[in-house]
A and B are shown apart, each in its own frame.
Chain A
Amino acid sequence: MYVYNDFDETFVRARVAQFRAQVERRIDGSLTEDEFKPLRLMNGLYLQLHAYMLRVAVPYGTLNPAQMRQLAYIADRWDKGYGHFTTRQNIQYNWPKLGDVPDMLEALADVGMHAIQTSGNTIRNVTADHFAGAAADEIEDPRAIAELLRQWSTDHPEFQFLPRKFKIAVTGAAADRAVTRAHDIGLVVVRNDAGDVGYQVIVGGGLGRTPMVGKVLRDFVSKADLLPYVEAIVSVYNLLGRRDNKYKARIKITLHENGIETIRDLVEDRFDAIRAGFGGYDQTLLAEIEKSFSPPAFVTKATDGYEAARLANPAFRSWSDTNLSAHKAPGYAIVSISIKKHGATPGDATSDQMRVMADLAERYGHGELRISHEQNVILPHVHQADLPAIYAALRKADLATANIGLASDIIACPGMDYCALATARSIPIAQQIATRFDELKIEHDVGPLKIKISGCINACGHHHVGHIGILGLDRAGVENYQITLGGDGTETTTIGERAGPGFSADDIVPAIERLVTGYLDLRRDQSETFLQTYRRLGLAPFKTLLYPNEDKADAA
């Protein structure tokens, strides 16, 4: 795994010391909130509804056990004993005290972590496929390039004041698990006809108030050209992006207003101009970084125990059916640990649970953990022989929910329980939907279904790309939930369609239940997923499910 170099370490420590002084000056009143706010945001510190919130980057979602234990320690020492994992592969602490934050940052620096560039108009934490380095379908581990991008973008003098925030995601496989098409830049590892590994470069995706699917800027950029090419994109955007209107400032709007051809030409010109200046240093660095992402020493063991346990224990069988994914090494599996127990807050893990996951990674998982954008924790490298023991340990820690990819594996942003920008709550809706599907015992029959909830138009909960998206709004002083259908965040990214008028907080869960149980009657057979059925039939039959009384009214 990549270990921070001396430069990173010195830089992070210097930033903590600087922030400590700024906090002191804020507390003694010599800095006003207006002066302090940009400084705290640069260090990942937000002020929410009931308290501060510290957002910690987990670059490309990768953690080692020592880091996970430190996150648990920070939760116990300075927060309320838990952390919230988010769709941006971050962890958020909801209750830090201002005076403690420098110590929290210091504790993070002790394990090579920080909260820099988790906010502000900079290049944010680069996100990656959470199965990177493990997935059977992967061409190449995308994290080396993610790390190169991180090093290049961190404190990059040209890019600290972009028109708006800038998010990059990378994936190493054709199956897009990193929602690359909803990012400012999405990079997909591909092979060209000659068999060389390079990147398809997608730009201008984004969610928020104006959701857009990214467009392919170039089908193939070689590895050697990638950094200058990405820099060319960011430079063109830095000059062309609108600074007059925050809602029109993201690159998706720049692209929309100028057209992809213009942007492509400008990027190519800029690329030609700066390419020579890179002089190969980035490639030397990349080669170094790639070494630190070399695969662990996979072992060979008998898997009879695993098969026997599957036969003997239906609960284990159910869990292994839903929570495992195909690994590239023979005999191995990728374990997704659900932190979406029915009725619990999606993405929250207690400090004890964090320690259990760290121990499991250390003991059985080649020392690696991942945070997924779907707010779960991954053990990417596990031998099948160890799965029964892992399952038993997860069960004890209340972490064995068998619901990955199912109706109750809901993404929900913090919403109005925490977020100062929210227009409605999202967490309780997620809790109620999951509880309801658990009561109905139908989610395994329903199969793959992605429900995603945001508490405002900013769409941090990815509702636009949920098969069922829920957006919480404030309608005349009452919480109201709008449903979108048919969204998709994979390689076939689609923005969901609005289904019709919104529902009250009391009516939204029954509405979702009607949709899902109604789908069971609409599907061709058990193999046709919710999304496929929606694509085949379109909005109409789902609308009838949602608004049963309307048809009658029309007919009358």
Chain B
Amino acid sequence: MPPRFTPKVVTANALLDGDAVWLTEDDRWSPLISDAELITDEAHADLRLLQAKARASEIAGAYLADARMGADGPEPLHFREAFRTRGPSNYPHGKQVAPQSRT
């Protein structure tokens, strides 16, 4: 039996300001992981990543990150991805103060 597929979200950095963004089911880039499409099928994940990468004028560095379903939508599994939903820990900068930049 193949190992179980961990659900994924497609994430990237917005092209203009580098802010972390997530791909939604209706093909928007949201600054909130909770808006993301949670992908439970491996083949679909690969396809969504390819589609994301093609959007060169909107984002940079798209990749698949592990996630799980939480109360308000998808949540990160790994601490690195959790930091990306907030911002740095040494200043109140980044999303933790103002989730801006929608593309």
Q: Which residues of A contact B (CB under 8 A)?
A: 26-29, 31-33, 36, 47-52, 80, 94-95, 97-99, 345, 416-418, 422, 425, 427-428, 431, 474, 477-479
A98 touches B15 (CB 8 A): yes
B88 cross-chain contacts in A, Cβ below 8 A: 50, 94, 417-418, 427
CB distance from A367 to the nearest CB of B (A): 32
Contact A29 B57 (CB under 8 A): yes
Contacting pair A99 B90 (CB below 8 A)? no
The answer to whether B94 and A345 touch across the interface, beta carbons within 8 angstroms, is no
Residues on B lying within 8 angstroms of A by beta carbon are 13, 15-20, 56-57, 60-61, 77-80, 83-84, 87-91, 93-95
CB within 8 Å for A477 and B78 given contacts A27-B15, A49-B20, A417-B83: yes
User: Which among B77, B87, B91 has the highest number of chain A CB atoms within 10 Å?
Assistant: B91
* B16 contacts A97, C-beta separation under 8 Å: yes
In the complex, which residues of chain A have a beta carbon less than 8 angstroms from the beta carbon of B13? Answer: 47, 51
Query: Is there contact, CB below 8 Å, between B90 and A431?
Result: yes
Check A98–B90 contact: CB distance below 8 A. Answer: no
> When the two chains form their complex, are residues B17 and A97 in contact, meaning their CB atoms are under 8 A apart?
yes
Q: Which of B15, B18, B77, B91 contacts A48 (CB 8 A)?
A: B18
| Complex CA–CA separation, A417 to B13 (angstroms) | 15
Determine if A477 and B16 form an interchain contact, defined as CB atoms under 8 angstroms apart: no
B56 touches A98 (CB 8 A): no
Residues of A with C-beta under 8 A to B93: 50, 80, 94-95
Task: Check if B17 sits within 8 Å of A51, measured CB to CB.
Answer: yes
Interface centre among A50, A51, A345, A477, by most B CB within 10 Å? A50
Q: Please, how many angstroms separate the alpha-carbon atoms of A416 and B79 in the complex?
A: 10
- B18 and A52 within 8 A (CB): yes
- By Cβ-Cβ distance, the 10 closest A-B pairs, closest first, are A29-B57, A417-B88, A51-B18, A33-B60, A52-B18, A32-B56, A50-B94, A345-B90, A427-B90, A97-B17
State how many angstroms separate the Cβ of A381 from the closest Cβ of chain B: 33
The chain B residue with its CB closest to the CB of A477 is B78
Q: Identify whether the interface residues of B are mostly helix, strand, loop, or mixed.
A: loop
- Chain B residue numbers with a CB within 8 Å of A49 are 20, 80, 83-84
Contact at A425–B17, with CB atoms within 8 Å?
no
Are A98 and B17 also in contact (CB < 8 A) when A28-B57, A80-B93, A431-B90 are?
yes
From A80, A99, A417, A478, B16 is in contact (CB under 8 Å) with A99
Q: How far, in whole Å, are A98 and B58 apart by their CA atoms in the complex?
A: 12
| Bound CA–CA A97/B17 (angstroms) | 5
User: Please, which residue of chain B has its CB at the minimum distance from the CB of A40?
Assistant: B60
A167 to B45, CA, bound (A): 41
A99: B residues at CB distance < 8 A: 16
Which residues on the A side are within 8 Å of B87 (C-beta)? Answer: 50
| Residue among B61, B84, B89 making CB contact with A428, cutoff 8 Å | B89
**B16 and A47 contacting across the interface, CB-CB below 8 Å:** no
B57 and A27 contacting across the interface, CB-CB below 8 Å? yes
- Nearest A residue to B66 by beta-carbon distance? A477
23 A-B interface contacts by CB (under 8 A): A28-B57, A29-B57, A36-B60, A47-B13, A49-B80, A49-B83, A50-B20, A50-B88, A50-B94, A50-B95, A51-B18, A51-B94, A97-B18, A345-B91, A416-B79, A416-B83, A417-B89, A417-B90, A418-B88, A428-B90, A431-B90, A474-B79, A477-B77
- Cα of A358 to Cα of B78 in the assembled complex, Å: 43
Determine the chain B residues whose CB is within 8 A of the CB of A418 once the complex forms: 88
Q: Which residues of A contact B61 (CB under 8 A)?
A: 33, 47
Give the chain A neighbours of B84 by CB distance below 8 A: 49-50
Cα separation A444 to B81 with both chains bound (whole Å): 40
Inter-subunit contact A47/B18 (CB<8 Å): yes
How far, in angstroms, from A49 to B83 measured CA to CA in the complex? 8
